[in-house]
Amino acid sequence: LSRQFSKELIDRFQIGYAPEKEASMHFFKAKKFEAEALEKAGLVNEGRVIFSERITIPIHDQNGKITGYTARRLSDEDDRPKYINTANTPLYNKSRLIFNYHRVKSIARKSGYAILCEGAMDVLGLEKAEIHEGLACLGTAMSDEQLNMLEKLRVPIRVWYDQDQAGKKATYHFGKLAMAHGIPFTIVKNEKGKDPDEIFCQYGQEEVRRSVESTIPYVEFLFSYLPDVYNLSNYEEKKQFANEIKDVVLTLSDPIEQRMFFEQLKSITGFDFLPMLTQPATSKRKDWHTKKQTCYIPLLTDGRKKAESYALFSMLHSKQASKRFKEEIGFFKEEKYRSLSLYIYEYYRTKDVMDENELLLLLEDEQLQNELVSLMEIDDSLYSEEAFEDCLWKIKECAISEQIELLNHEISLLLDPLKKVEFAMKKKRLIEARNEIRHRKEG
């Protein structure tokens, strides 16, 4: 309470307290937890309780299941480590976990960004200021699994690491990894030089919010950080410094920014890279937040899957399209489309206009979330009733063609001549139905 944690925040993040060791062991025994299970869960080691007299903050996996804890000592006069975390267990592997990811994965897609911090207390400091996009990498070097998780958010990342040398080094290494993965990001400028919780306690909510909004590009961070890494009085190191900055500048998409940073680099090192601006940049940056894709779905050339994809896209834009598909087709062949369509039907049961972000929050399956996000990124102007009509005919035609192929296989296995005649007549009727569809489409 002295750190201004509200009751609501304590409850929402399931923050607790581990009492002294004897009390914890008495509790475990009263609950009849087996010694082996306590060991495997990382709560006990060789009969000794791990967490005692500490505030406990649970760490969840991507689906919201608790896998371990980070625990803070109560007093800063205590000579024990300030934080301890659950050791690796069958459930807890910190290189595969990001604190608060299970909450942020939906929130970030709506707000358009996420904030990456070092520890759980940083995230809770943001939460005190009513900023709900905070994530923490639990003090580890960023792993490939964690980078893949950030990439799946499909939003830019704002990096708010500590301002000490270790924090700056972690920011530098994250930047290199994020660029390799094509994850767009900026760096929180953090003029106060404090973490979110400290800023909230000393300056209040508005200062935390101002800090979150005050960001700089990675290349600007490098101009302040790398002079401490390279000796610019040494020619070879100055050249390495210049080349490292140059490689990052060339990934920028704005030619004005490129020119500005190259001029700054020239004033520091004397190396002139401005002539390189006549060459096209090779940026891997994914600007998911800037505009939607303008891809066209070739309905009549790529078969049923493409047609079903466009049908699902149409259903997101029109309740009438959703109703027509349900009545005329009935189901999707693609399993992920079929599952997503059930959520769409249910949504339209009570509402007339689709809010895609609201629908996204209803989805629990990550594959369905990713599928919906990919549909949301298609340019809205690509929807038309005529194209939807075409895709309905295409799906009907494909469905009949699949039935004909199945009948051909069954006929090839038949020995009874009468059965063969019966199946051949079914096939004839299907071919006529398919020809009728093709005639209507052409008409």
Per-residue pLDDT tens over the stretch 118-132 = 999 999 999 999 999
Domain check: are 316 and 383 in the same one?
Answer: yes
Task: Provide the CATH number for the domain around residue 16.
Answer: 3.90.980.10
Q: In terms of domains, do 433 and 303 share one?
A: yes
pTM to 2 decimals? 0.64
Give the end of a domain, one of 216, 232, 262.
216
Same domain, 156 and 58: no
pLDDT, tens only, 257-282: 899 999 999 999 999 998 888 654 44
Model pLDDT, residue 241: 95
User: Does 85 lie in the same domain as 105?
Assistant: no
- Domain annotation covers residue 36: yes
Out of 200, 216, 232, pick the residue that ends a domain: 216
Which of 164, 182, 216 represents a domain boundary (last residue)? 216
Q: What is the pLDDT of residue 437?
A: 67
Residue 286: inside a domain: no
Question: Given this model, what pLDDT does residue 442 score?
Answer: 54
Average pLDDT per block of 10 residues along the chain, 443 residues long: 89 95 94 94 92 95 93 86 91 93 90 93 94 88 89 92 89 92 91 88 92 94 95 94 93 88 94 76 47 38 76 91 87 86 91 87 84 83 82 82 80 79 79 70 54
Domain carrying residue 150: 101-216
Residue among 369, 12, 309 nearest 155 (CA)? 369
Residues 72 and 14 reside in one and the same domain: yes
417 and 318 in a single domain? The answer is: yes
Instruction: Give the total number of structural domains in the chain.
Output: 4
Is the domain of 235 the same as that of 210?
A: no
